[in-house]
Amino acid sequence: MQLSEAIALIEGGQYHSASTSRWADLGCGKGLFTRALATLQPPGSIIYAIDTDYLALETLTDYQHVTIETLCSNFVQDEWYFYELDGILMANSLHYVQDKPTFIQRAIRHLNQSGGFLLVEYDTETANPWVPYPISFKSLTRLFEEAGFHSVDKLQERPSIYGRANLYSAFINK
């Protein structure tokens, strides 16, 4: 996927801010969606990019006047040092979380009162070696409603290059 495609997949949510913002990108990989998010944030914002692949993190630098702070860490198992986030981006990473309800409750503690989640996932319930714990949009909606969120909006959808299921993006907030 190209940067322009990643931007198109996540734009349109009610997460844009006129003032600086603080986000975490959990499971950021090489930072494609980190950079896509940076293009949608005002200058001076901060994105914490977290992944277990330190080599991938080394390629991430500040982008579009947004500071990108990298952390080599397992976002499921390790403690997080950032709080009062405006949002948590998880692009193709929630499907690595087995116990999603517990994880969501933990993540909520790191959001500010108006913070939300920006997710990109495969719209399927069928697991495979690359998507061990998939979550369809229908299941995602139920998961976040049970966690106390009232707004689960599908932003965009596009075919996966792997042909198994569509990719969708969603913005979730209270």
CATH number at residue 31: 3.40.50.150
pLDDT of residue 155 exceeding 80, the answer is yes
pLDDT of residue 21 exceeding 90, the answer is yes
Q: How many domains does the chain have?
A: 1
Predicted model pTM? 0.94
pLDDT of residue 77: 95
User: Do 88 and 118 form a contact (C-beta atoms < 8 A)?
Assistant: yes
Residue numbers of the domain that contains 168: 3-173
pLDDT of residue 160: 79
Radius of gyration of the chain measured on its C-alpha atoms: 15
Question: Under DSSP, is residue 126 helix (H, G, I), strand (E, B) or coil?
Answer: coil
Cα separation, 10 vs 143, whole angstroms: 20
pLDDT-above-70 percentage for the chain: 95
